[in-house]
Amino acid sequence: MKKRLICLALACVLLVSLAPSAFAGATLDSYATGSFSRNYAVYTGPGEYYYRAANGKASYGGGTARIYGVDGDWMLIGYMVNSSDFRIGYIPRDALSVSGKITGSINYNLNFDYTIAYADDYCRVTDDPVMNQKMFYTIPEGTPVTVLATMGRPWTYIEVDSPNGPIRGFVWSIHLRATPRANTNGGGNFRAGTPAPTANRQNNYTINNITPAPTARPTAVPSYSINFYHDTTKGDWLPRYQENQITGSWPVYSGPGEYYYRANNSKATMGGGYCRIYGVENGWVMIGYGLSNGKYRFGYVKQDALPRANLNIPYLDLKYTTRQLRAEAKLTDDIAKTRTTLVTLPAGTYVLFLGYVSEANITWAYIEVMANNSIMRGFIHASALQ
Percent of the chain with pLDDT over 90: 48
Among candidate residues 144, 178, 195, the one where a domain is terminated: 195
Residue 150's CATH number:
2.30.30.40
Chain segment 215-270, per-residue pLDDT in tens: 444 444 445 678 989 999 999 999 999 999 998 999 999 998 888 899 999 999 99
Q: For residue 255, give its domain range.
A: 224-313
Q: How many CB atoms lie within 10 A of CB 33?
A: 16
> What band does 189 get if pLDDT is binned at 50, 70 and 90?
very low
- Quick check: pTM over 0.85? no
State how many domains the chain has: 4
Mean pLDDT of the chain: 81
Cα 58 to Cα 297: distance, rounded to the nearest angstrom:
35
- Say yes or no: 308 and 329 in one domain: no
Structure confidence at residue 224 (pLDDT): 66
Structure confidence at residue 10 (pLDDT): 39
Q: In this structure, is residue 74 part of a structural domain?
A: yes
Q: Name the pairing type of β-strands 59-60 and 329-332.
A: unpaired
- Say yes or no: 331 and 305 in one domain: no
- Say yes or no: 345 and 298 in one domain: no
Structure confidence at residue 277 (pLDDT): 96
> Across residues 71-86, what is the average pLDDT?
88
Q: In this structure, is residue 218 part of a structural domain?
A: no
- Say yes or no: 90 and 32 in one domain: yes
Q: In this structure, is residue 246 part of a structural domain?
A: yes
Residue 374's CATH number:
2.30.30
Q: In this structure, is residue 168 part of a structural domain?
A: yes
- List the Cα angle 98/59/3 in 5-degree steps: 110
Q: In this structure, is residue 106 part of a structural domain?
A: no
Structure confidence at residue 78 (pLDDT): 95
Distances in whole angstroms, Cα of residue 304 to Cα of each of 49, 75, 259, 301, 366: 27, 40, 18, 8, 24
Q: Is 172 helix (H, G, I), strand (E, B) or coil?
A: strand
Residue with more model confidence, 134 or 181: 134
